[in-house]
Structure 1
Amino acid sequence: MLKFSREFHAIQTKKLLELYAKENIVIIPYNHPEYPQLLREIHDPPLVLFSKGDRSLLSNKAIAIVGARDADNYAREAIELLLPPLVEKKFVIVSGLAKGTDTIAHESTIAHGGKTIAVLGGGFFHIYPRENKQLADKIQHAHLLISEYPPIWRPEKWHFPMRNRIISGMTLGTIVIQAKSRSGSLITADQALEAGREVFALPGQINQPLSVGTNHLIQQGAKLVASGQDILEELNLD
């Protein structure tokens, strides 16, 4: 926050706000009515959220989908199976715009006529990964992009675990699709549990590296899911 304060005061505030207005960037401070209530409840909520797009989505019930960057066809087929009942119940699907599972989750939600929120690990002027720039453009025009980082900040490696707490913190539960034994998705699941939220995991073949993390979550008590209805029942929304 100190770094942000120094950079903010080093720039002419009027020009900065004019730039944000031109780029349709809206700042949502912690005490603003549009700030997600669930996110306020975690122990380290961001002081501000930068947003581009449909901010009304922040007040909708939401669920997170996360998983491996090298997700395979099993992940794609699973998301296609899980999503329709969630979209039908007007859940906003939250993910992190990363390669693999995140990309599939955003794209599939859009394809099914649902709404999605992408939580970034950097500022809006430095979309990462670059190949998702077109997807980010689509999301900011009809859905929502958010970040706790000012638009000029480039993504840093340590930003992404911090970003994950927002993904899990603003949602009722987190669905982990695929995860290796050491995975950012497992960090997100831990943060969801810490915040008192539900964790759902897709089971996988025991001899596949991408199943190790999710199968371990199930061993530890995560809800095994085989359909979107399983999630709705656990949340008492069936």
Structure 2
Amino acid sequence: MDDIWNLLLLQSSPNVTRRLLKQMIRQDPSLSTFIHSSSARWHHQLPLPAERAYKIQKHISDPSIQRKLYESLQRFHVLTISDHEYPVSLKRIPDPPLVLYASGDLSLLEHDRCLSVIGTRKPSSYALPAMKKVLLPLVASHCLVSGMAQGVDQYAHQLALRNGGRTIAVLGSGFDCVYPKNDLQLYQQLMTEELVLTEYAPYVVPQRFHFPERNRLISGLSEATVVVEARMKSGTMITVDQALEQGKDVYAFPGPVGSETSEGCHFIIDQGARIVHTHHDIVVPEQR
């Protein structure tokens, strides 16, 4: 248990990256050496800039941080990469999270067919009718994975909830600092009836760089990713790149000619993404 506590405490520091944490684990799998060392030793052993080492040591020694983290363990599921319940699909991606916080139904991590559904935060009037036409026939047999962002993501979660399906939401913040806040009722329903995941401690506020990090988990949890609408320069396109890097299939909805929200879809279709006309075009292999 001490090993897990050390991992959670260090992972919760904004100055500890996954790369640094992996380096520390290679030197001491229990991490106790670092927990009980002075920042000066960190500075020389890793090596780290003295100021950064001091900030990490200050964070892990802070009683209020330790209390918040302890309370989190009482409120939420916590999975480390060595746990049996940790999703195998995430272990296979290039940069898996070492820690996952979860709320809801953990059995969804074992769902045979997970399908990521992603797209713009500001969809056109075309998006929702198109999603209903294509995705509703798949809801009964697939778990829809998305990021709970306003727009396409929330449409995907709602389609699953309202039609007897299952869904997983992946956040770019801690559970107590959810973003966006436009539909807290949806968030609470996902937290209790479905499954919400994040690699950030519950008290961590969202940062801009969290969302590209979050996107690798959305694609990583699924065998295939469907892009509904996307602008050329967008987080959706970053997720597409991550899905391809992970070796996942990518599908895209074609959109109206001249629509800015479909420019990204048309681009990736040109690059080889599979075009979606009906639900028959989407084939998601069982996860093993």
Q: TM-score, normalised by structure 2?
A: 0.76
Asked if 1:68 corresponds to 2:68, the answer is no
Aligned-partner residue type, residue 152 of structure 2:
T
1:31-42 to structure 2, matched below 5 A, reads 31-42=82-93
Q: Aligned-pair distance for 1:14?
A: 7.3
Where 1:82 maps in the other structure, the secondary structure is: helix
Aligned residue number for residue 152 of structure 1: 203
Asked if 1:182 corresponds to 2:233, the answer is yes
User: Given the alignment, which residue of 109, 130, 145 partners 1:58?
Assistant: 109
Asked if 1:120 corresponds to 2:171, the answer is yes
Q: Is the 8 A contact 2:177 2:206 kept in 1?
A: yes
Distance 1:44 1:15 in 2: 29
Where 1:131 maps in the other structure, the secondary structure is: coil
Percent identity between the aligned chains?
Answer: 38
Aligned-partner residue type, residue 140 of structure 1:
M
Aligned residue number for residue 224 of structure 2: 173
Aligned residue number for residue 161 of structure 1: 212
Distance 2:85 2:234 in 1: 31
Q: Is the 8 A contact 1:174 1:192 kept in 2?
A: yes
Q: Is the 8 A contact 1:97 1:132 kept in 2?
A: no
Q: Which has the larger radius of gyration?
A: 2
Give RMSD over aligned pairs.
2.0
1:146-204: per-residue Cα shift (whole Å, max 9, x none)?
Answer: 00000000000110000000000111011000001101111101100000001000001
5+ long unaligned stretches in structure 2: 1-10, 17-55
Q: Aligned-pair distance for 1:229?
A: 1.7
Distance 2:242 2:122 in 1: 22
5+ long unaligned stretches in structure 1: none
Q: Aligned-pair distance for 1:138?
A: 0.5
RCO higher in structure (CA 8 A, sep ≥6): 1
Q: Aligned-pair distance for 1:78?
A: 1.4
Aligned-partner residue type, residue 186 of structure 2:
L
Aligned-partner residue type, residue 13 of structure 2:
K
Q: Is the 8 A contact 2:12 2:201 kept in 1?
A: no
User: Given the alignment, which residue of 252, 268, 271 partners 1:201?
Assistant: 252
Where 2:102 maps in the other structure, the secondary structure is: strand
1:92-114: per-residue Cα shift (whole Å, max 9, x none)?
Answer: 11000101000111111111110
1:67-86 to structure 2, matched below 5 A, reads 67-86=119-138
